[in-house]
Amino acid sequence: MNYQPPAGLLCPSTVTSQNGPTLSRVVAGMWRMDAWQMTPQQRLTLIKRCLALGVTSFDHADIYGNYSVEALFGEALALQPSLRGQVQLVSKCGIKLVSPARPEHSIQHYDTSAAHITASVEQSLRALGTDYLDLLLIHRPDPLMNFDEIAGTFSRLRLHGKVRHFGVSNFSRHQFECLNRRIALATNQVECSPLHVAPMFDETFDGLQDQGVRPMVWSPLAGGRLFSGGDAAGERVRAVVQRIADELQQPFASVVFAWIMQLPSRPLPLTGSGRIEAIVDAVRATQFSLSPSQWFEILRAARGHEVA
């Protein structure tokens, strides 16, 4: 039986920047897929249900699931290869984990050399069962990163048809702009939630808005702390979000996603769940907005003080 999303609910598509791919307004994060205990057919079903909702973009990294998640996703996609043209595959590289899957790694460290980026892309392509990535990100800023070397590597990967667009993850505004001057970047994927508002105030989002580049946001629900965390900030935010959710007659998580998406840099939030109901909640957030007073009530609860 085909999955039927809630009536009228469809996630809009967007362009991350004029130099970026067309991604869905909500991106499905796959980093926990190895913990979802799904068969290949169940993984394929999840992909198809996401597509039915208009969630066409899927976020990966080479290291997710101890280097296993890309292959799990690729195994599912291989059951229906025609879906490749309907999805956008995002992946990241630049971290080396100490892992039985990589016995040659003796210490966890960053590696943004041309050789490592190229080898990581080749491995991601094999694991995902595809000829190209829609978007490749440097996973973390590397103290030894050479901006010219990275830009040259990106250019060669594009020339050879391996990767179509490029970006970074967890970069500061200055780090982003240093690389962006050498090769056009499509996004900076950073952490943001009502319990982590730093990008709103450290120039990360301001700089991206100025460049016309849309950030991607990981952990928008604070890794679940908004639902169950016992810290004071979590309790304050949870109470305010729940009251606003009741006022708007919207799910709790939808209000949080809407709060993030209302920022003028227009972030693209990632989900982190294998439950289609959780992805539906994220997509619902594209259908409504908070009033300015509601938005600032959540910010006040997050920071524990008034704006002035």
Q: What share of the chain has pLDDT > 70, as a percent?
A: 99
Q: How far apart are CA 264 and CA 59, in angstroms?
A: 23
Q: β-pairing, 95-96 with 268-271?
A: unpaired
Residues 135, 196, single domain; the answer is no
DSSP symbol at 133: B
| pLDDT tens for each residue of 94-125 | 999 999 999 999 999 999 999 999 999 999 99
Q: Across residues 211-237, what is the average pLDDT?
A: 92
| pLDDT tens for each residue of 243-264 | 999 999 999 999 999 999 999 9
Last residue of a domain, one of 165, 185, 205: 185
pLDDT for residue 1 is more than 60? no
Number of compact structural domains in the chain: 2
Q: What share of the chain has pLDDT > 90, as a percent?
A: 92
Last residue of a domain, one of 185, 214, 242: 185
| pLDDT tens for each residue of 260-308 | 999 999 999 999 999 999 999 999 999 999 999 999 999 999 999 998 8
Residues 163, 250, single domain; the answer is no
Last residue of a domain, one of 142, 168, 185: 185
pTM exceeding the 0.95 threshold for the entire prediction: yes
| DSSP per position, 250-306 | --HHHHHHHHHHTSTT--EEEE--S-HHHHHHHHHGGG----HHHHHHHHHHHHTS-
| pLDDT tens for each residue of 159-170 | 999 999 999 999
Q: Which domain holds residue 268?
A: 187-277+289-302
Whether 256 and 284 have beta carbons less than 8 Å apart is answered as no
Q: β-pairing, 95-96 with 57-59?
A: unpaired
- Mean pLDDT (the chain) is 96
Q: How far apart are CA 107 and CA 260, in angstroms?
A: 36
Residue 132 forms part of a structural domain: yes
Q: Is-catalytic flag, 64?
A: yes
Residues 177, 199, single domain; the answer is no
pLDDT recorded at residue 106: 94
pLDDT for residue 2 is more than 80? no
What band does 231 get if pLDDT is binned at 50, 70 and 90?
confident
What band does 195 get if pLDDT is binned at 50, 70 and 90?
very high
Q: How far apart are CA 96 and CA 111, in angstroms?
A: 7
Backbone dihedral region for residue 243 (phi beyond 0: left; psi -120 to 50: alpha; all else: beta): alpha
Q: Across residues 136-143, what is the average pLDDT?
A: 98
